[in-house]
Structure 1
């Protein structure tokens, strides 16, 4: 496995002074070594050696101990046996993006994430903390509220939720407009349908049943049903009027 040359050994008269550990907030700087990028390929095997050249690298980490023993610094089978600070490669999209996570290992199964760094096309940045992002957003909102004469904390939270509330109201209003029935349009459609119905000829009568075929109750039409019903007995109009109303002949 190829790797960049290790730093020279300390002089014989005593150990060299270690560089101070990097600060916590280094989001304002960017590191890039174009000479190294022109010499070595940037892949998952050599990305840690490139990251170790940046000011973000803490030389007191366990990875540096593995490098001194000629072991790959990202060998997780060795890092899980140690405790303390370490760097692990969490995301890889060769050769454009690498995400390096700094964490503190307590035991083989537990480690607490501290910081994250990403290498984008050879440039190394420190990812901002969530608290810093939230604080910067609150500051921007506070300044915006100042400009709108809403300097109170209540105004800030009102501004936070106003955009979402207005968006929901607009969405519900548009939905209500789509669901509203236009009565004029409905009458117009009914008028068109009635005009078409008047222009169309009446439906032809059903064909007669063949000779000898007895239709069932479901197949009988309304005329057949009326014909099959018994007719009421004929009533004599004279008898029905009673003897008092009969005409008298002289």
Structure 2
């Protein structure tokens, strides 16, 4: 048989006869997965099955090199996740693809780059649709030709007239916002003891000398001792 292709996300597999006969658990789940077209018959797990060894025996798979399947996630009996990987040594493996069994149906998990591409494409579609809708709404308002204002009063099929209902609606929205916000609050008062700055002091030498403090006759920091009296 030919090995399965890389991209098989568009198909699923389900065998009702097998599901009605055997339980879907971690022991028999791989046998059910081997019936699907996602299974690669050249893998190491198939060699273990031919030798009557459990195909998910990690002690045997670690001794081999080539493609293999590992059971990565288990939520019996609803979900089983198998990871396809390439083993180069006992400790070195390279993940390739992932498959999961959900309620008896087998699917291939999409790659992360494809998921991102699909989500980005969907987001761009809705953004483009939103801009188109907004542009159609704005076109209904129309425009005023200031140069030929008198001509706009006459019916003209080439130019769109102003939609006064739309203008009134916008005015109503602005008025409602103004009522909700209210007037701007007054500035807060000055704190107690605050003296507003005055004008520049006149540069008068007499006033300047009077304003400057005079140094004391004695230094208050130095202790000069008791006053001395003259002896007669």
Q: TM-score range by the shorter chain?
A: 0.5 to 0.7
Aligned positions, number:
132
Q: Secondary structure of the equivalent of 2:46?
A: helix
1:22 aligns with 2:27: no
Q: Secondary structure of the equivalent of 1:107?
A: coil
Candidates 100, 104, 114, aligned match of 1:132: 114
Deviation at 1:92, TM superposition (A): 1.0
1:62 aligns with 2:44: yes
C-alpha deviations, 1:126-165, integer Å up to 9, x for none? 1111000001112112222332449xxxxxxxxxxxxxxx
1:93 aligns with 2:104: no
CA distance in 1, matches of 2:105, 2:86: 25
Q: Secondary structure of the equivalent of 1:109?
A: coil
C-alpha deviations, 1:157-196, integer Å up to 9, x for none? xxxxxxxxxxxxxxxxxxxxxxxxxxxxxxxxxxxxxxxx
Q: Name the structure 2 match of 1:116.
A: 98
Q: Secondary structure of the equivalent of 2:71?
A: strand
CA distance in 1, matches of 2:129, 2:76: 46
CA distance in 1, matches of 2:129, 2:24: 47
Q: Secondary structure of the equivalent of 1:113?
A: strand
Relative to total residues, which structure has the larger helix share, 1 or 2?
A: 1
- Equivalent positions of 1:38-187 (< 5 A) are 38-149=20-131
The root-mean-square deviation of aligned C-alpha atoms, in Å, is: 1.3
Deviation at 1:42, TM superposition (A): 1.2
- Structure 2 alignment gaps of length 5 or more: 133-232
C-alpha deviations, 1:57-81, integer Å up to 9, x for none? 0111110111111111000000000
Runs of 4+ in 1 over 4 A off after TM superposition: none
- Structure 1 alignment gaps of length 5 or more: 1-18, 151-250
